[in-house]
Structure 1
Amino acid sequence: MSNIRESYIPFRRTDIVNLCLEEGKLKAKDVQLFKEFCDILTAFFHFRFHNTLESIKDNYTVFNPNSDVKTLQEPSLQEYEKMEAKVLKGFKYVLKRANYIQLSDDIIQKSLEEKSLINLQTDVNFDDFDKLYCFYRGDINQQITVKKFGFFKQKRIIDILERVVLLIKFKGKGYFEAKSQKNKQYQDLNFIPGKMYLYFYKNIPKLDLDLLFPNIQTSMTWKDKLLFGVPAIGASIPLILRAIPNILLIVVAILLLVRADSVVQSIEVDKEKVRDLMPILVATLSLSMTLGGFALKQYTKYKSKEIKFQKEVSDTLFFKNLANNSSVFQALVDIAEEEECKEIILVYYHILTSEQKLTPELLDQKIEQWMREKLGVDIDFDIHGPLNNLAKLRGKIVYEDNNENDIKEVPLLSYDQQGNINILSLEESKMILDYVWDNAFQYNGC
């Protein structure tokens, strides 16, 4: 199990808000203001993430293997590269805001090299990919029961990734056309070259990460090969030794048919036995059937494991799949929006209700301790993200008797010379958010 404390907050935003209200630290007059602050904050970030989603969707269209819309004009190579860069930038940004962690290539390779739950050799050709990104959230362990030798049951602890997001962009058509001339497996592809595939899964064992790749290939393990070959060879040796005389007779019979009498004369064999071919053929057929039976039995066992593997793949795709391709972006943006708001609400609430000045470090510790005591979770709170978001919210605080033109914009959050955090009151913070909303759309004539 991973020792990394994650930043993800495993509770709903509404539950976080209610927990803050139930704690009783807010003044009675501030309770309604706090609710309204949380509502307008959530609406603003929903709008902001909606813009992010629209940008990603617009640029992803040409890479979407399931797209049912057409472009009026195919993008140039330069435009194509810019669109790809925007998709990947938005993808990484959203996952970071959703508190997902990127799996390094080394970890992916190590997971694929380890023994899977199904003892079958698998291979993923990473050279087929132009881009590959894998993110996860929730690295836990789980106890399972597996059968050993067909009837013994053994308990194992395996690592589970609670959420996995995989982005794969395959190389272009030319690459796979060249590969198909050398390798038959590339002649019938189950994906479209040059397209970008996204997968969103739940509860994936680290050992089974290979199931998620569309270009996975299976083959016999060294154990399968031994079980396939050794019994057949072992059984064939005594049969071959017994059959050598009959094999010799067959050779002589063939030589007689081709009138190679001179060669036959040098072989000491009873020609009468040669003329009676039926026993020879029966013995040969018996040998062939025995050897074939051993080979077929071992091959059937291997195919049974392969079918079991394909069922595991099908179950993963059906029962553990949360979204594919463009719908992945929608799901991730919803998560990122929720995470962003929860973090900002927690930061704002704890600064607002603190009886002492707080630095970012003290605030981080305070929130993490609050999460442990109130919710029983140990997280690595992302303090800098929400602080930066609040500091970027700038606006004008305008009262009825003030002229807005004479008032300068101020940040909702700032720092004093000692590095302590200062925030505006709830009433003033609401005014800042109102101002931000009023200026979110700047259309001429409105």
Structure 2
Amino acid sequence: MPKLALLRFIPFRRADILQMCLQEGQLDAESLVKFKNGARQIERHFRDDFHRAKHALKDAYFSLDPDADTRLVHLDNRDTASSQDDLARQVSELLERANYDKVTPEVLSKALDSASLFDIRLVVNLDDFAEVLLYTRGASEREEVIRGPFNLWRKTVRFVNYDRVVLYLRFKDEMNEDSSLAGCRPGATMLKLFQNVPDADMEMLFPNTQVGMRLRDKLMIGIPALVSGGVVLTTKLGATLVLTGSLLGFWLGWHNDEVTLDRKAIIVLLAGAGTIGAYLWKQISNFKNRKLRFNEALTRNLYFKLLDNNAGVLYRLLDDAEESECKESLLAYYFLLAAHQPLSAQELDQRIEVWFSQRWQCRLDFDVDDALQKLAKLNLAYIDADYWHISALSADVEG
């Protein structure tokens, strides 16, 4: 299992970050006023910024939303392809601001090829889609004990678990009638948000997931079928097989002994045919019932993992991204104020990460450069000779 990177996502609410900083008691009266005013300015800025981003995303997604219940009015020359490209770009930028990581095609392919933790075989055909993008946040290593049939054996499996997974799917403009997605709207874009997803179970997130039979499942059905089939042949179909063999031998000219199809013979043939039909139907039912249990396990699992769909995913991501931007800015601003002296970006980054590790038992990779750039944009801090200073005017900001 590859070594996991440190979290970029700060797993605390914005309101809690604000209180956590204030409770440290490292600010004098003047710095405290600056921090409270700066916090209001930061929150106001990102509230307005993401309000604009929300409307831009709504405009880009409207014509592609499979759940839209309002009419599409063509008032400009914008085509579907440009809307798709614009949406993909905006969603990618939004996910980056919300501290999500993009899953590379190589990692996705490896995840789809790995064995499912639910002990079932899942198959996904990515060729059904025009575009597939997957993003994750909050990776952690976990262990789970998998039990065999009748608890005959146990196996401990280690895997990577993702706190959040976003799936971005764009359907082809022309859907194959034989595809399981034939009922979906061609050219539409689907967004899904999930929680607590093992890397080995990425297949279950796709709408065209098919449940297949593993070799073990086929053996569990096939071996009993062969055994019971032999019993049926020797105990219940003996007379039917003898009569059928005699008839075939006479019709094919292998012997000259004529076989009379009287009432008794016909009853024997019909009884044999009924026995064979009942046996085959039982084996088919066993196969269907086992597959149904697999589908039930898949549905039950997705019920607890699915958080939101389509436009609802965008609204959640907008809120997550706004929270993340505010938290990073608040932390950088507080620790610059608490230092009571200019700090380099590296010094500030180390102070914040050590504070989280020692004070809150949380190891993360703080994006200090992005946070400082946001403070500079808001005129709350500036850089001079590689050291960051608090702007003198920040104390005068009122909100």
TM-score between both structures, scaled by the size of structure 1 = 0.79
Once the two structures are superposed, what CA deviation does each residue of 1:331-370 show, in whole Å capped at 9, x if it has no partner? Answer: 0111111111111111111122215542212221111001
Q: Alignment partner of 2:110: what SS?
A: helix
**1:194 matched residue in structure 2:** 187
Q: Is 1:70 aligned to residue 71 of structure 2?
A: yes
Work out the CA distance in 2 between the residues paired with 1:191 and 1:10. Answer: 36
The answer on whether the counterparts of 1:191 and 1:214 sit within 8 Å (CA) in structure 2 is no
Instruction: Tell me how far apart the structure 1 counterparts of residues 288 and 266 of structure 2 sit (CA, whole Å).
Output: 34
- What are the equivalent positions in structure 2 for 1:14-413 lying under 5 Å apart? 14-73=15-74, 76=77, 79-152=79-152, 154=154, 156-157=156-157, 158-172=159-173, 175-176=174-175, 179-180=176-177, 183=178, 185=179, 189-233=182-226, 236=229, 239=233, 245-251=242-248, 255=251, 264=253, 266-269=254-257, 271=258, 274-276=260-262, 278-279=264-265, 282=268, 285-286=271-272, 289=275, 293=279, 295-394=280-379, 412-413=380-381
Secondary structure at the aligned position of 1:150 is classed as: helix
Query: For 1:221-268, what per-residue CA distance to the aligned partner results, in whole angstroms no more than 9, with x for missing partners?
Result: 233334444544455568389565332223257x3xxxxxxx64x515
2:386 aligned with 1:423: no
In structure 2, the residue corresponding to 1:194 is in which secondary structure? coil
Supply the AA of the counterpart residue of 1:332: L
Distance 1:249 1:16, change over 3 A: same
Shift of 1:214: 0.9
Q: Supply the distance in 2 between the matched residues of 1:233 and 1:32 (Cα, whole angstroms).
A: 82
Contact in 1 for aligned 2:117/2:201 (Cα 8 Å): yes
Quick check: 65-74 or 88-97, which moved more? Answer: 65-74
Using the TM superposition, give the Cα deviation of residue 282 of structure 1 relative to its aligned residue in structure 2, in angstroms. Answer: 2.7
Partners of 1:370 and 1:275 in 2: CA distance: 94
How many Å separate the matches in 2 of 1:196 and 1:74? 21
* 1:31-79 deviations in Å (ceiling 9; x for gaps): 2432232122111111101111110111100000011111222765x53
Following TM superposition, by how much is the alpha carbon of 1:19 offset from its aligned partner in structure 2, in angstroms? 1.7
Matched residues in 2 for 1:55 and 1:311: separation?
39
Q: List alignment gaps of at least 5 residues for structure 2.
A: none
- Number of aligned residue pairs: 393
By how many angstroms is 1:316 displaced?
Answer: 3.9
Query: 3-state SS of the aligned residue for 1:133?
Result: strand
CA RMSD of aligned residues (A): 2.9
- Per-residue Cα deviation, 1:135-169 (whole angstroms, up to 9, x for no partner): 11122244445442134473644432111111101
Deviations 1:168-196 (A, max 9, x none): 01010xx32xx32xx3x45x724211100
Gap change, CA 1:388 and 1:302, over 3 Å in 2: farther
- TM-score when normalising by structure 2: 0.87
Alpha carbons of 1:231 and 1:26: their partners in 2 closer, same or farther (altered >3 Å)? Answer: same
Q: Quickly say closer, same or farther: Cα 1:219–1:289, change in 2 above 3 A.
A: farther
SS in structure 2 at match of 1:344: helix
- The structure-2 alpha-carbon separation of the partners of 1:162 and 1:68, relative to structure 1 and needing over 3 Å to count, comes to same
Structure 2 CA distance for aligned equivalents of residues 298 and 119 of structure 1: 22
* Structure 1 residues 374-397: Cα deviation after superposition (integer angstroms, max 9, x where no partner): 111000111111111122224xxx
Distance in 2 between the 1:128 and 1:246 partners?
Answer: 52
In 1, Cα distance between equivalents of 2:210 and 2:245: 44
Shift of 1:16: 1.4
Q: CA deviation at 1:133?
A: 1.0
| In 1: Cα distance, 2:118 partner to 2:283 partner | 17
Bigger relative contact order (CA 8 A; separation at least 6): 2
Rounded to whole Å, the distance in 1 between the matches of 2:121 and 2:144 is 21
Q: 1:301 to 1:207 in 2, by over 3 A?
A: farther
**Contact kept? 2:191, 2:310, Cα under 8 Å:** yes
Residues 1:121 and 1:297: Cα distance change in structure 2 (over 3 Å): farther
The alpha-carbon deviation at position 416 of structure 1 amounts to 2.2
Shift of 1:94: 1.1
CA gap of 1:275–1:150, structure 2 versus 1, over 3 A, is: same
For residues 120 and 284 of structure 1, the distance between their equivalents in structure 2, rounded to whole angstroms, comes to 40
Shift, 1:5, TM fit = 0.7
Task: Measure, in 2, the Cα distance between the counterparts of 1:31 and 1:246.
Answer: 101
**Cα pair distance change 1:296/1:151, threshold 3 Å:** farther
Consecutive unaligned residues of structure 1, counting only runs of 5 or more, are 256-262, 395-411, 438-446
CA distance in structure 2 between the aligned counterparts of 1:424 and 1:132, rounded to whole angstroms: 45
Q: Which sits farther off after the overlay, 283-292 or 382-391?
A: 283-292
Tell me the distance in 2 between the aligned counterparts of 1:284 and 1:237: 19
Compared with structure 1, are the counterparts of its residues 151 and 231 closer, same or farther at alpha carbon in structure 2 (3 Å cutoff)?
Answer: same
Taking a change above 3 Å as real, the CA distance of residues 284 and 248 of structure 1, as seen in their structure-2 partners, is farther
Mapped contact 2:162–2:197 kept (Cα < 8 A): yes
* AA partner of residue 217 (structure 2): D
